[in-house]
Structure 1
Amino acid sequence: MDIEQIRKRAQEIWEAEGRPEGQHERHWQQAEQELSGGGELPQTSSPAHHSATTIPEGRGKKKSDAVPSLGGEPGGFQPGELASKKK
């Protein structure tokens, strides 16, 4: 296993994760494992990266308030329905 190959792969992993600081040892170990045929799929992002993208409990489970469904009212539209079809 060539150290230059490990360095390049570790840098690719680092860049794919958005260049996080303080993760160089994990990136190096992951690169070594991948190049040695460790059998695991590469990790392309860290749990810390995903912590900012999780949906808080109770969110995302209700209909949108931004576009109310007016389909039952005269002249109302369902989301995605074209106004030209209601003429």
Structure 2
Amino acid sequence: MDDEIRKAAYKRWEDEGHPEGQHERHWREAEEEVRSKSTGVPQTWSSDHGGGVNPPSEGSALSEPSSANEPGSLKPGELASENK
């Protein structure tokens, strides 16, 4: 299996134009690719793509209230920069 990973990593390196310092990422991605082929389970998560986490959409419960954007609407200590 290491030979397959080595070939896949080398191909990734070539396809990206021989970048320096990316050997660990190429190996990891190739390893995931080869393992998913051998198990038949497609890889659905990649650290290079943020782990599938999407930013909250407008109007979601995680978004800031609209009044927080108005000058003077925040109290002292409510900003993260003030909590250092």
Q: Same fold, TM exceeding 0.5?
A: no
> Normalized against structure 2, the TM-score is what?
0.44
User: Of the two, which has the highest radius of gyration?
Assistant: 1
The structure where helix makes up a greater share of residues is 2
TM-score, normalised relative to structure 1: 0.43
